[in-house]
Chains A and B, each alone.
Chain A
Amino acid sequence: MANDLTKLTIAEASELLNDGEISSRELTEAVLASATHQNGDLNAYLEIFDDALASADEADARRRAGERAPLLGIPLAIKDNILIEGKRATSASKILENYIATYDATAIQKLKAAGAVFIGRTNMDEFAMGGSTENSAFGTTKNPHDTTRVPGGSSGGSAAAVAAHMALGALGSDTGGSIRQPASFCGVVGLKPTYGAISRSGLMAMASSLDQIGPFTRTVADAEILFNVLKGNDPLDSTSAPDSVWSDKKIEKKKLRIGVPEDFAFGKGVDKDVVENFKKSMEALAQEGHEIVPIKLAHITHSLAVYYILMPAEASTNLARFDGVRFGALKEGATLFDDYAQTRGAGFGREVRRRIMLGAYVLSSGYYDAYYHKATSVRALIEEDFKQAFDLSADGVDIIATPTSPTPAFKIGEKSADPLQMYLADIFTVPANLAGIPGISVPSGTAQRDGRDLPLGIQFLAPHFREDLLFVAGRSLESVAGRNA
């Protein structure tokens, strides 16, 4: 039996549970102790649930009754914008400080049915708007590798919890990189599935044409386990893909053609250590038998600009629902209009107010064509670039590789005064959301800063519904980069 149960992977823990070597209660007690002990320093959890042990006992009973399932009794952390019935769900916003979820997200229903144990809800940038968790109304999460640095964001709490062994896995959401970038900063695996792969019913919407739920884990194999439980069509989410997309027989590929958009990946502002680590990782993958080829994605450099038009436009629309009428905080004014304005002015933080107003601007009459309409058109060109790059009949590639983030984790406060600088940290991750394709970040070693080893990550991108290729590439990189312990 492992000395420290919190360091087990999901696959390892599941095997020990099945063999009766450990119980979910023992595992959950160990994880709860680790979470409670470290949370004062890291602020990864906004709340640690008091019913986790009861769920663990339930899982143990199900196993005693003969049930076997990969997540039965496995302790997980949940990002605070995903609803668990009867639990607080705040999106790290003051406007929802006392909101209790009235139903389970479909992803949560699936995890409950699979027997997972929820340890707590994790910190994030308010309404998932940010890349550092500094926009949380409830304090910044610290990076476990260096507590003077950010864990990334917006799902920073989930990434930190998995990295610091405060959970075996976690759920996050990714609109422009909010799973992959914190995974990279914290040295864990983060998967943004294909748009429509996992139901978003019960996920608080930021930008509905981009949002996707996905897992954080310490290994690629664990990400695959969680993904397989979470994926599938849901009548409650009309954008969820029909199940037939998964039944097409995939060609089992072990050796991949990996495309590297060099102009983009080694472009301006990309840290020297990041480029060097990326090149070394590609060499290692070539030695594993994969073929690395340079590719061109003509419009990919416009991704960030397109993203910062479409995302605020959609967010300003989605967040209109927070008006102090049906749920959340209410700050009263003299008139109904004042009720809305006062409630939203007091309830939303600076970045949320900024994005709502930016969204209102790009959608307003006179600017709509120049910004929103133009951005949707360039988005289509970016999608087309990916389609061509993945066209195997025209000398295309199986997957694409880039660094996940242009830099390792930055210092707390370093970018918080300049929103544009903060946005630039998303440069490698937003294209996948615009094109709706899946992406994964896998740890690829470290860069030293101030005497500390900070994790770096490689991002792989695949065609729609080809998460299987990401797992092949991810496992291959893991085998050469060494597992993050």
Chain B
Amino acid sequence: MIKKEDMEKLAQLSRVAVSSEELEVLKNDLESILGYVSEIQSVSEEAPERTAGSLRNVMRDDANAHESGTFTKKILGAAPRTDGDYIKVKQVL
């Protein structure tokens, strides 16, 4: 059983404003889904030991860097609030 306070905490962790009526519905949904997925506890075997395959660098090289500012206007154009070349948010601390 998930406690109501825990649901409130989850909503907060998730950064989602949810009405208390919906929180009740979500609590029931989560309990039913968690009840189902808990069946994996019945698997007793351990996962097979994994050995790394041949290593390769998945990061791309720093070559062909684009010129600073090329995409600035486009990207800022998608932001809801801007101030000059900055994205604007409410006070953080």
Contacts and interface: CB of A to CB of B under 8 A. Distances in A.
B78 A327 contact: yes
B48 A360 contact: no
B37 A309 contact: yes
Interface stretch (A56-64, A246-254, A332-340): A332-340
Interface string B22-40: 1000100110111011111
B11 A330 contact: no
Interface string B53-68: 0001011100000000
Contacts of B81: 330
Given A299-B43, A336-B92, A361-B10, A99 B33 contact: no
B16 interface: yes
A420 B87 contact: no
Nearest to A348: B16
A413 interface: no
B33 A308 contact: yes
Contacts of B37: 305-306, 308-309, 371, 375
A99 B78 contact: yes
Contacts of B34: 358, 361, 371
B32 A420 contact: yes
A336 B30 contact: no
A335 B89 CA distance: 10
Given A102-B75, A345-B16, A353 B26 contact: yes
B48 A380 contact: yes
Contact of A235 (B32, B36, B50, B60): B60
A425 to B, nearest CB: 14
A242 B55 CA distance: 12
Contact of A357 (B30, B58, B78): B30
Chain A residues touching B, range? 35 or more
Nearest to A102: B74
Contacts of B51: none
A329 B78 CA distance: 10
Contacts of B38: 305, 370
A341 interface: yes
Nearest to A312: B33
Contacts of A354: 26, 29-30
B16 A325 contact: no
A484 to B, nearest CB: 34
A418 B81 CA distance: 38
A342 to B, nearest CB: 5
A415 interface: no
A344 B80 contact: no
A376 B40 CA distance: 11
Interface string A246-282: 0000000000000000000000000000000000000
Interface in A352-368: 353-354, 356-358, 360-361, 364
Contacts of A342: 17
A316 interface: yes
Contacts of B89: 325, 336, 339
Given A353-B26, A357-B26, A423-B33, A326 B87 contact: yes
Given A238-B59, A345-B16, A380-B48, A336 B90 contact: yes
B48 A381 contact: yes
Nearest to B60: A235
Given A329-B80, A336-B92, A360-B13, A384 B48 contact: yes
B79 interface: yes
Interface string A405-427: 00000000000000110010000
A328 interface: yes
B50 A380 contact: yes
A102 to B, nearest CB: 5
A381 B58 contact: no
Nearest to B93: A336
A299 B39 CA distance: 12
B22 to A, nearest CB: 8
Nearest to B79: A326
Contacts of B32: 419-420
15 contacts: A102-B78, A235-B60, A299-B43, A302-B39, A305-B37, A306-B40, A325-B89, A330-B81, A348-B16, A358-B33, A360-B13, A376-B47, A380-B48, A420-B32, A423-B33
Interface of B: 2, 7, 10-18, 22, 26, 29-30, 32-34, 36-41, 43, 45-48, 50, 56, 58-60, 71, 74-75, 77-81, 87, 89-92
Given A306-B37, A381-B48, 6 more contacts: A326-B79, A336-B90, A340-B15, A342-B17, A419-B33, A420-B36
